[in-house]
Amino acid sequence: MAHRQAQQRRPSIHDVASRAGVSAATVSKVMAGVTTVKPENAQRVFDAVELLGYRVDPLASDMRRAKRRIIGAIMPEFESEFFGQMVTQLESLAEQRGYTLVAASSRESEARETEILARMHDWRVAGVVLAPVRNEHGPAAAFMKANGMTGVLIDRVLSDDAFDTVSADSAAASAEVARELIGKGHRHILVVGLGEQAATVRARLDGFRSTALKLAPDVRIDVVLAETDVEPLRAQLRDYFGQGANGGERPTAVYSLFLKGTLVALSEFRRRGWHCPNDISLVGFDDAEWMQVTWPAIAAVVQPMRQIAGHAMEALFARIEGGEGPPIARLEPCKVLMRESVGSPGNGPHSGGGDRQ
């Protein structure tokens, strides 16, 4: 007994009611802020609540209501800064509206994604923010559709015919990167892409390529389509640079379309003793704390995480509250931070305009 706290029963609405000498319904009204209660009685209720330490049980409350005040969030992972911040932000926004956010990680598996979704459906969540593993055409979105769930798709999506979508404007950001690199004189650029996730990474690649070619038709763009795992990716890059070194030709800049690609590219440069930006320039899609703090700081496309979260929640609550109309597809503009890792080719020491916090 010593080290086992008795789970004392918490006071229920009836306990409050009898202490205050009113009915449970009246207590319920007072708690809900209904103004038609006689001030005198309201005060007695408040006193009883205070005295007993009463708090409404949100589950019981939701039970009786039509919609439950729970929002589900499904992220591909929790381990990265981006999704970590996203969950934090979504949580905060849900809270502001009196909802509880229940977050789950699909761990980059579409099968698990659907399982989680089914569980959230069991919970009768009011709505779901889904960051799909692959894209908007996966089984999870289909499940939501089939079951009439309310939801928003974010991040690895472009647009959908059933759900609102919110994501970073990858194409525009990549076009800006192209302008920067071409403008600095780069004419041989390696783009490190990702095999899966089709649409969104494809938009980054296309946005970059079309703009680069328009500005400099003679530019050479190599593409390495990588795996998600670090090791195979490292091998691919090693191969690529190995060949290039032999042929005497190697790119003067690298644009990585995803975070791990940036990490591995940088690591490969260091292994070969190439310094940024003198020997090679580097820009990555997606920012991370270490990139701004390492030396030289690595240029990055910063996704507007707060806008994405904010607009996603806005759209979701609009639907929850009955908003109709065709789905909207938002593309949020990114910031491109040209930090010290980018310079002009064959130009010696160069200071980029990047910001170091």
Report the interface residues with DNA, using CB under 7 A.
9-10, 12-14, 21-26, 28-29, 31-32, 36-38, 40-42, 54-57, 60-61, 63-65
CB of 182: closest distance to its own copies in angstroms? 27
Is the previous residue joined to 132 through a cis bond, with omega within 30 degrees of 0?
no
Q: Interface with its own copies includes 238 (CB under 8 A)?
A: no
Q: How far apart are alpha carbons 252 and 190 in whole angstroms? A: 8
Nearer to its own copies, 229 or 249 (CB): 229
- CA distance linking residue 184 with residue 186, whole number of Å: 6
Taking the alpha carbons of 162, 167, 172, 178 in that order, is the dihedral positive or negative?
Answer: negative
Let me know: does 312 contact 288? Beta carbons within 8 Å: no
Site string for its own copies, 294-333 (x = CB under 8 A): xxx----------------------x--x-xxxx------
- The least distance separating its own copies from the CB of residue 117, rounded to whole angstroms, comes to 12
10 Å CB burial of residue 339 (0-12, 13-18, 19+) is buried
CB 187, min distance to its own copies, A: 26
Query: Closest CB to its own copies among 43 and 109?
Result: 109
In angstroms, the Cα distances linking 184 to 181, 188, 295, 338, 346 are 5, 12, 21, 11, 11
Of 32, 51, 118, 245, which lies in the binding site for its own copies, with binding defined by CB under 8 A? 118
Q: How far apart are CA 41 and CA 191, in angstroms?
A: 70
Residue 246 or residue 351: which is nearer to its own copies going by CB?
Answer: 351
The one of its own copies, DNA, none whose footprint includes residue 275, by CB under 5 to 8 A per kind, is its own copies
Contact indicator for 299, 272 with CB cutoff of 8 Å? no
First CA to last CA distance, the chain? 54
Q: Which parts of 208-237 interact with its own copies (CB under 8 A)?
A: 230-231
Please identify which residue in 27, 30, 49, 104 interacts with its own copies, judged by CB under 8 A: 104
In terms of DSSP bridges, do strands 220-226 and 281-285 run parallel, antiparallel, or are they unpaired? unpaired
Q: Tell me if 1 contacts its own copies by CB under 8 A.
A: yes
Q: Does 107 sit near its own copies (CB under 8 A)?
A: yes
Quick one: which segment of 7-15, 16-24, 128-136, 173-181 binds its own copies (CB under 8 A)? 7-15
Distances (CA, A) of 189 to 16, 160, 214, 255: 71, 33, 15, 7
Residue 96 in contact with its own copies, rule: CB under 8 A? no
Q: Between 104 and 337, whose beta carbon lies closer to its own copies?
A: 104
The answer to the question of residue 111 lying near its own copies (CB under 8 A) is no
The site partner of 23 among its own copies, DNA, none (C-beta below 5 to 8 Å per kind) is: DNA
**Cβ nearer to DNA, comparing 22 with 177:** 22
Q: Which residue has the tokens 């644009």?
A: 255
Q: What are phi and psi of 240, to 5 degrees?
A: -55, -50
